């Protein structure tokens, strides 16, 4: 038997005073008002996006329950670390819920976040790979635990402030994941690990809005975070260089070493390979006739290998942990678009999936492939639709 909540009768929301905000609450913008008699858990981060998400689900008729995940509490006194996942964010989320008249609960997930995201981030960078902590947080912490909690509470859905769109499957058809309307805010790349069960319970009400429209709604309703600055940093790293964060936990990754070309000729010295990422062009401290790019990091030899742009481009790659959004596993090769960086450009590719159950894919770029690194995600798109993706294991360059 699912748990149930004895929710209070919610007050009527404050209506927008600005006449030009009314059109942002139409079904064309926020979806159908289908929440009558239903409960929605909303993930509240303390920012404007999740605040407006809670407000919109409330406007759509749902009984909203706000839940904040406390993921990381900075221990520095000078505020270098970004407090978006700590106590200040939790307080902002609580104030928002009070403003729109919905109950609020906080969950401490620091231990789970530390193991699945922070430790992995440090381990991957120390191994010369390029992880995406936001993707891992979505995969291992946010959606796994929030979906479970929503179900335990007997909720009908879980809503988050992500900028992406879900098209529900009809008549047994699979649910589809699409890019957001706002290309500058689209987060579909870090959502490619969602499965059909998760897509069935998730709601992304901001997917049809521009970020400017989200802020306009927040201001019209007088939400306390309407003008809160947007976080641009990795939440647990904050304003300090990520290399400093990793080096404090893995001093061996910050030892000086050689910068060499593809044949081993020493061109300079680095201050620790953790200060460099594959594809980096600036900050190498090397005078050369043509721009040099980081081709790979060699932790065992403590070397950074550099080369020209032609050497940096990927010709093909192998990915593992691959899954397709609709649950299929095509046996024949297929042509599509692929993205290897968050909000990067799509490149035409041919994808050959390995044997069923292998989770492996070989991806060949049609021409002029991007600069990519092991550890990054590769996500397949057909137009605006996310087909699936995986994690880059190895690359072939040149």
Q: Which residues are catalytic?
A: 137, 235
What are the structure tokens assigned to 30, written together? 């926020």
Three-state helix/strand/coil letters over the chain: CCCCCCCCCCCCCCCCCCHHHHHHHCHHHHCCCCCCCCEEEEECCCCHHHHHHHHHHHHCCCEEEEEEEECCCCCCCCCCCCHHHCHHHHHHHHHHHHHHCCCEEEEECHHHHHHHHHHHHHHHHHCCCCCCHHHHHHHHHHHHHHHHHHHHCCCCEEECCCCEEEECCCCCCCCEEEECCCCCCCCHHHHCCCCHHHHHHEECCCCCCCHHHHHHHHHHCCCCCCCCCCCCCCCCCCCCCHHHHHHHHCHHHHCCEEEECCCCCEEEEECCHHHCCCCCCCCCCCCCCCCCEEEEEECCCCEEEEECHHHHCEEEEEEEEEEECCCCCCCCCEEEEEECCCCCCCEEEEEEECCCCCCCEEEEECCCCCCCCCCCEEEEEECCEEEEEEEEEEEEEC
């Amino acid at each position: 038997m699912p748990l149930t909540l004895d929710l209070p009768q919610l007050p009527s929301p404050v209506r927008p005073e600005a006449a030009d905000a009314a059109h942002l609450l139409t079904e064309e913008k926020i979806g159908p008002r289908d929440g009558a008699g239903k409960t929605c858990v909303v993930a509240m981060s303390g920012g404007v996006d999740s605040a407006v998400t809670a407000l919109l689900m409330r406007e759509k008729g749902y009984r909203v329950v706000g839940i904040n995940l406390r993921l990381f509490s900075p221990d520095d006194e000078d505020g270098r670390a970004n407090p978006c996942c700590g106590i200040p964010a939790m307080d902002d989320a609580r104030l928002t819920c009070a403003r729109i008249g919905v109950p609020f609960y906080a969950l401490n997930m620091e231990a789970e976040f530390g193991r699945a995201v922070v430790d992995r981030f440090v381990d991957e960078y120390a191994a010369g790979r390029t992880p995406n902590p936001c993707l891992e947080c979505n995969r291992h912490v946010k959606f796994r635990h929030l979906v479970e909690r929503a179900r335990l509470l007997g909720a009908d859905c879980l809503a988050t402030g992500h900028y992406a769109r879900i098209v529900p499957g009809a008549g047994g058809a699979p649910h589809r994941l699409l890019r957001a309307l706002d290309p500058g805010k689209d987060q579909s790349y870090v959502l490619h690990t969602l499965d059909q069960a998760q897509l069935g319970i998730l709601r992304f009400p901001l997917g049809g809005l521009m970020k400017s429209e989200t802020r306009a709604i927040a201001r019209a309703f007088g939400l306390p975070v309407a003008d809160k600055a947007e976080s641009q940093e990795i939440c647990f790293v904050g304003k300090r260089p990520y290399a400093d964060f990793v080096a404090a936990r893995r001093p061996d990754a910050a030892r000086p070493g050689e910068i060499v070309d593809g044949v081993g000729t020493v061109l300079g010295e680095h201050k620790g390979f953790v200060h460099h990422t594959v594809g980096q062009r600036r900050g190498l401290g090397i005078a050369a006739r043509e721009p040099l790019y980081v081709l790979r990091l060699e932790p065992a030899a403590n070397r950074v290998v550099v080369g020209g742009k032609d050497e940096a481009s990927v010709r093909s790659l192998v990915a593992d942990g691959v899954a397709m959004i609709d649950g299929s596993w095509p046996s024949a090769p297929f042509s599509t678009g692929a993205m290897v960086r968050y909000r990067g450009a799509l490149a035409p590719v041919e994808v050959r999936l390995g044997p069923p159950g292998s989770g492996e894919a070989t991806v060949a770029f049609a021409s002029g492939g991007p600069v990519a690194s092991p550890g990054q995600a590769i996500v397949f798109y057909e137009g605006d639709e996310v087909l699936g993706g995986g994690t880059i294991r190895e690359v072939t360059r040149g």
